[in-house]
Amino acid sequence: MSAPTQQIEDEIDPIWTSSRTSRQIYVLGEVEKDISRLLSLAASSISLLTLPQTDTEGDSLPRGEERSEQLVLEVSEYFERLDSIQFAIRSTLAHIRQSRIAPSTIQAPPPGFVPPPLGVGLPSVGLAAGKRSRGLQEERVERDAWLLVVDALKRLKEAKEADDAQSKDQMVFDDTS
């Protein structure tokens, strides 16, 4: 296992490390984030290319030599991101070719298909009539919400117990005086 793969596995949810395909899907999700960062870098690089006289008061763009240095840094990061995006897409395509996935299995969704709002759905086996299948992300959000509710209830219980103990100590102190 390579060092970057091990680093990915240490930082993410175990579901993304369960198979080579799931790791590839995770990498493509990271590519999506890199693309948004790439667009942000392009926008800021273009801003740095404008003449300093055209900067508005709200812009926090550097002046003079700092402007050139910042441009070099941003353009360097831009090309590093572009290279990593290109590598990730090529490795994913190589994975698809190596897996010998038949083109017939990769089909476009039917006309009028609307994807779930929060990601890929769980299998809909055993769903009651009329109940909508939730996406994996929706399931995780609900799980995390319940964990937060349990944590909040535990803290509330501890605070109440501490308050009760303090009240009891206060009553004992009042009785002895």
Express each pLDDT in 111-137 by its tens digit. 887 766 555 555 455 555 555 566 677
pLDDT band at 82 (very low <50, low <70, confident <90, very high): very high
- Bridge partners of 135? 121
CA–CA distance, 13 with 111 (Å, rounded to integer) = 33
Reply yes or no on whether the pLDDT at 5 is more than 70: no
Higher pLDDT, residue 81 or 18:
81
How far is the C-alpha of 140 from the C-alpha of 13, rounded, in Å?
11
CATH of domain 3-53+62-103: 1.10.287
The answer for residues whose C-beta is within 8 angstroms of residue 61's C-beta and 6 or more apart is 47, 48, 52, 55, 67, 70
Please state, in angstroms and rounded to a whole number, the distance separating the CA atoms of residues 122 and 164. 45
Band of pLDDT at residue 68, cut at 50, 70 and 90: confident
Q: Among candidates 84, 86, 62, 83, which has minimal Cα distance to 72? A: 62
- Residue-wise pLDDT for 8-57, tens only, equals 556 677 777 777 777 888 888 888 888 988 998 898 888 888 776 566 56
Averaged pLDDT score across all residues of the chain: 77
- pLDDT at residue 100, rounded to an integer: 76
Q: Which two tokens stand for residue 69?
A: 């240095």
> Is the model more confident about 58 or about 20?
20
First-residue to last-residue Cα distance in the chain: 71
What pLDDT is recorded for position 80? 93
